[in-house]
């Protein structure tokens, strides 16, 4: 197919999203409007050929719409319907090109979701031709909104497969020789990530002498000042993905104990990196990337975290290595190239 023009009306861009854009831009032209960089996830981004990124906050509504019209996209992708300005801009392209709505909310049957499902036929469905979601938990919500069949796409989120595969190749050999006895948390420091339960669980295990593993934590956020400082726990702040090598090599088991997590791209990132995992039941990505390579735990439960940590601490190196290799295999099940193929197929 000849080169296409793809426009994104996006919220906060991150490294994994830009990995998809980089793959897309190999053959197609891309325009991205995005919100200002989030201080809790201050990713650095390299320039990419065929990609233009605009800060949404620097333009009026009319200017955004004018730039989109000048770009003349073949496909328009809009992240949710929370940004009413984005929705208004998308509306001007209805019935002209594929206009794609992305969402990562699970169907819970709550009042707001029921209202959205009720008004969708006269609102969302009149603007958007397709919905693009991460996985099955979100697909149910999209179906309630009226998107079905070929108009409902899955696998909206994809990790930077090349980056984390290279990290696996650089670091896993040393783990086969001696598996590092350290848990690794990489996510924002916010309450709903389950950080306080995680730190409490680890403290109790360490104090009782039941475990001698360490707990490494990477990230920043509103609860940074309230982080738990205790024996065996280390905090490293925010680390750019490209600089993760020494932390990946020095730790062994990934933990994401979130009490709310619509998806969780880090699950695929650390699967690719060869990490056995402790993932809470609330993490959407567990449906895809937690299969015989770790333990699912109850959300918000200190005891459940303790139990999973203890299970790993009692495994021998061979068991841990086998589980890490299984993680890597699962992580490769969806790639950036496949993400691009999903999107471009809309215009065929």
**pLDDT tens digit sequence for 71-103:** 999 999 999 999 999 999 999 998 899 999 999
CA distances from 177 to 195, 267, 293, 309, 323 (A): 31, 24, 19, 22, 15
Please state, in angstroms and rounded to a whole number, the distance separating the CA atoms of residues 220 and 42: 10
309 and 249 assigned to the same domain: yes
115 and 23 assigned to the same domain: yes
72 and 122 assigned to the same domain: yes
Output the pTM of the full model: 0.92
| Tokens read off for 14 | 């991150």
**What confidence score (pLDDT) does residue 41 get?**
63
223 and 286 assigned to the same domain: yes
Domain limits at 317?
A: 161-331
| Tokens read off for 103 | 């969402």
Half-sphere exposure of 143 (CA within 13 A, CB side): 13
Nearest Cα to Cα of residue 289 among 274, 312, 271: 271
Report the chain's terminal Cα–Cα distance, integer Å: 8
214 and 84 assigned to the same domain: no
Which helix (H) or strand (E) covers residue 54, if one does?
A: strand 51-55
59 and 203 assigned to the same domain: no
Which residues are within 8 A (CB) of 322 and not within 5 positions of it... i.e. 6 or more apart? none
**What confidence score (pLDDT) does residue 320 get?**
98
59 and 149 assigned to the same domain: yes
Tens place of pLDDT per residue across the chain (348 aa): 579 999 999 998 988 999 999 999 999 999 999 998 766 666 677 889 999 999 999 999 999 999 999 999 999 999 999 999 999 999 999 889 999 999 998 888 888 888 888 888 778 999 999 999 999 889 999 999 999 999 999 999 999 999 999 999 999 999 999 999 999 999 999 999 999 999 999 999 999 999 999 999 999 999 999 999 999 999 999 998 889 999 999 999 999 999 999 999 999 999 999 999 999 999 999 989 999 999 999 999 999 999 999 999 999 999 999 999 999 999 999 999 999 999 999 987
Please state, in angstroms and rounded to a whole number, the distance separating the CA atoms of residues 145 and 70: 31
17 and 166 assigned to the same domain: no
Q: What is the pLDDT of residues 197-206, one digit of tens each?
A: 999 999 999 9
**What confidence score (pLDDT) does residue 129 get?**
96
The two most distant CA atoms of the chain are separated, in Å, by 65
Please state, in angstroms and rounded to a whole number, the distance separating the CA atoms of residues 62 and 74: 20
**What confidence score (pLDDT) does residue 1 get?**
53
Q: How far does CA 69 lie from the centroid of its chain?
A: 30
Q: What burial class does residue 229 get, using C-beta atoms within 10 Å of its C-beta: 0-12 exposed, 13-18 middle, 19+ buried?
A: exposed
CATH number at residue 133: 3.40.50.2000
| Tokens read off for 219 | 């990230």
23 and 151 assigned to the same domain: yes
Angle at 34 between CA 32 and CA 38, to 5 degrees: 145
Helix residue spans in the chain (DSSP H): 15-24, 61-71, 84-91, 111-119, 136-144, 161-177, 195-208, 245-250, 265-272, 286-289, 302-313, 317-331, 336-344
- CA 165, 171, 177, 181 dihedral sign is negative
Pairing of strands 182-186, 253-256: parallel
**What confidence score (pLDDT) does residue 39 get?**
62
179 and 100 assigned to the same domain: no
Which helix (H) or strand (E) covers residue 78, if one does?
A: strand 75-79
15 and 99 assigned to the same domain: yes
Q: What burial class does residue 193 get, using C-beta atoms within 10 Å of its C-beta: 0-12 exposed, 13-18 middle, 19+ buried?
A: buried
167 and 288 assigned to the same domain: yes
Q: How many domains does the chain have?
A: 2
**What confidence score (pLDDT) does residue 36 get?**
85
The order of strands in the sheet holding 152-153 is 51-55, 29-34, 5-9, 75-79, 99-102, 130-132, 152-153
Which residues are within 8 A (CB) of 169 and not within 5 positions of it... i.e. 6 or more apart? none
Nearest Cα to Cα of residue 277 among 311, 301, 227: 311
**What confidence score (pLDDT) does residue 109 get?**
81
């Amino acid at each position: 197919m000849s080169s296409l023009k793809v426009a994104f009306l996006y919220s906060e861009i991150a490294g994994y999203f830009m990995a998809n854009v980089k793959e897309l831009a190999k053959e197609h032209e891309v325009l991205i409007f995005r919100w200002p960089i989030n201080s809790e996830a201050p990713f650095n981004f390299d320039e990419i050929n065929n990609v233009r990124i605009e800060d949404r906050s620097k333009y009026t509504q009319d200017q955004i719409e004018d730039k989109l019209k000048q770009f003349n996209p073949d496909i328009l992708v809009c992240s949710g319907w929370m940004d009413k300005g984005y929705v208004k801009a998308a509306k001007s392209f209805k019935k002209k090109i594929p206009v794609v709505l992305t969402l990562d909310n699970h169907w819970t049957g709550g009042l707001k979701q029921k209202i959205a499902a009720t008004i969708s036929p006269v609102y969302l469905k009149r603007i958007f031709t397709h919905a693009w979601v991460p996985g099955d938990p979100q697909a149910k919500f999209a179906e309630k909104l009226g998107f079905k069949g070929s108009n409902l796409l899955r696998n909206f989120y994809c990790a930077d497969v090349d980056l984390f595969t290279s990290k696996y190749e650089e670091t896993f050999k040393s783990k086969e020789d001696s598996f590092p006895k350290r848990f690794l948390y990489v996510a924002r420091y916010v309450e709903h990530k389950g950080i306080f339960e995680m730190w409490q669980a680890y403290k109790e295990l360490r104090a009782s002498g039941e475990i001698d593993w360490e707990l490494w934590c990477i990230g920043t956020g509103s609860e940074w000042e309230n982080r738990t400082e205790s024996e065996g726990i280390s905090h490293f702040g925010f680390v750019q993905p490209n600089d993760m090598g020494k932390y990946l090599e020095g730790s062994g088991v990934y933990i994401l104990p979130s009490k709310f997590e619509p998806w969780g791209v880090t699950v695929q990132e650390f699967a690719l990196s060869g990490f056995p995992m402790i993932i809470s039941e609330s993490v959407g990505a567990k449906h895809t990337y937690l299969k015989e390579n770790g333990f699912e735990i109850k959300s918000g439960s200190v005891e459940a975290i303790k139990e999973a940590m203890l299970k790993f601490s009692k495994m021998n190196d061979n068991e841990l290595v086998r589980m890490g290799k299984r993680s890597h295999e699962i992580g490769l099940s969806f790639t950036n190239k496949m993400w691009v193929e999903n999107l471009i197929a809309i215009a065929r």
